[in-house]
């Protein structure tokens, strides 16, 4: 299914070989929906950028991270993943694909489920594993549903 939203300021187009190189570099198999999206849109700023939570609050997607080819000085999806895992801020297998305006991540796991991951909630009194669980909020959807259910601000404001 093709997304109904537009992406601006994305990275260089990716090939299947680029995706294969990235998967090999990360030692992960990326979920098919993520791969299909990135073959069309390599990161970028979505025209619809708000995810509405069940309680009516919203999360604001600043941008989707590019793969392989950084845009300007920003990190790529794979750079972000490798850095967060190396610092043990994020568990292995939770792949950041977008960020909010506070530097928190929208992630997908290897099974294809989407999460919001709040790195700004780190608590030094907790273990890394406890912090990983505290930071992770399951959005309960597939990647494609996540993208398709992003809305513009005027779709939910009073």
Q: Is residue 138 part of a domain?
A: yes
Q: Is residue 45 part of a domain?
A: yes
CA 82 to each of CA 36, 64, 141: distance values in angstroms, whole numbers, following the listed order: 22, 17, 24
Question: What pLDDT is recorded for position 21?
Answer: 96
Q: Is residue 157 part of a domain?
A: no
Q: Is residue 2 part of a domain?
A: no
**Would you give the distance in Å from CA 103 to the centre of its chain?**
11
Q: Is residue 1 part of a domain?
A: no
Of 79, 147, 59, 71, which Cα lies nearest the Cα of 108?
A: 147
CATH number, domain containing residue 101: 3.40.1580.10
Q: How many domains is the chain built from?
A: 1
- Token match 């513009």: residue? 152
Q: Is residue 158 part of a domain?
A: no
Question: What pLDDT is recorded for position 54?
Answer: 87
Q: Is residue 11 part of a domain?
A: yes
- Distance (Å, rounded) from C-alpha 46 to C-alpha 104? 16
Q: Is residue 132 part of a domain?
A: yes
- Distance (Å, rounded) from C-alpha 69 to C-alpha 14? 9
Of 81, 16, 73, 4, which Cα lies nearest the Cα of 42?
A: 16
| Strand residues in 73-133 grouped as ranges (E) | 94-100, 105-109, 113-117
Query: What would the pLDDT profile of 28-39 be if each residue is shown by its tens digit?
Result: 999 999 999 999
Q: Convert 19-40 into a string of H (helix), E (strand) and C (coil).
A: HHHHHHHHCCCCCHHHHHHHHH
Q: Which residues on neighbouring strands pair with residue 72, listed in sequence order?
A: none
Q: Is the pTM of this model over 0.85?
A: yes
State the residue range of the domain holding 76.
7-152
Q: What is the pLDDT along the chain (158 residues), one digit of tens a residue?
A: 444 688 998 889 999 999 999 999 999 999 999 999 999 999 999 999 999 998 889 999 999 999 998 887 789 999 999 999 999 999 999 999 999 999 999 999 999 999 999 998 888 899 999 999 999 999 978 999 999 999 987 454 44
């Amino acid at each position: 299914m093709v997304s109904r939203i537009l992406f601006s300021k994305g990275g260089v187009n990716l090939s299947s070989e680029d995706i294969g190189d990235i998967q090999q570099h990360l030692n992960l198999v990326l979920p098919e929906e993520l791969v299909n999206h990135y073959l069309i849109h390599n990161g970028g700023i979505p025209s619809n950028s708000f995810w509405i939570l069940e309680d009516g609050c919203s999360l604001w997607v600043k941008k989707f991270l590019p793969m392989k080819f950084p845009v300007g000085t920003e990190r790529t999806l794979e750079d972000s993943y490798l850095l967060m895992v190396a610092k043990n801020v994020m568990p292995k297998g939770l792949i950041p694909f977008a960020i909010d305006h506070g530097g928190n991540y929208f992630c997908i796991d290897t099974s294809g489920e989407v999460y919001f991951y709040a790195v700004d909630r780190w608590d030094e009194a907790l273990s890394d594993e406890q912090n990983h669980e505290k930071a992770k909020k399951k959005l309960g959807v597939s990647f494609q549903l996540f993208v398709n259910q992003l809305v513009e601000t005027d779709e939910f404001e009073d």
